Amino acid sequence: MTEEASVKTPHHEPTIQLLEYESGERAIRFCGYEGARMGRYPLVIGEEFLAELGKQVRKNPKLRRLLRKMVP
């Protein structure tokens, strides 16, 4: 994991991570944390937390560029 954006909510910490492999391939992981543990559930982010998560994404240029391929 080379870049990460997250926001803390009352229930968990929705997180978007940029994964870069030795082969040069890149991937994005959408996950959530409960403390130090990654949750094993679909990522759900309340609308009231989206703007803050977006601010965190903007602090990570490589992650932001890759996300723009999904939503230009």
In CATH, what number is assigned to the domain containing residue 27? 3.10.450
pLDDT band at 72 (very low <50, low <70, confident <90, very high): confident
Identity (one letter) of the amino acid at 21?
Y
Q: What's the token pair of residue 16?
A: 């978007």
Please give the radius of gyration of the chain, using alpha carbons only, rounded to the nearest integer.
12
Q: Which amino acid is at 27?
A: A
pLDDT score of 67 more than 90: yes
Domain count, the chain: 1
Give 1-23 pLDDT, tens digit per residue.
999 999 999 999 999 999 999 99
CB 9 within 8 A of CB 21: no
**Residue ranges making up the domain that contains 42:** 3-70
User: What pTM was computed for the model?
Assistant: 0.91
In the three-class reduction of DSSP (H, G, I as helix; E, B as strand; rest coil), residue 27 is classed as: strand
> pLDDT for 37-65, tens place per residue?
999 999 999 999 999 999 999 999 999 99
Residue found under tokens 């890759």: 66
Indicate the pLDDT class of residue 28, thresholds 50, 70 and 90: very high
Query: Quick check: helix, strand or coil at residue 44?
Result: coil
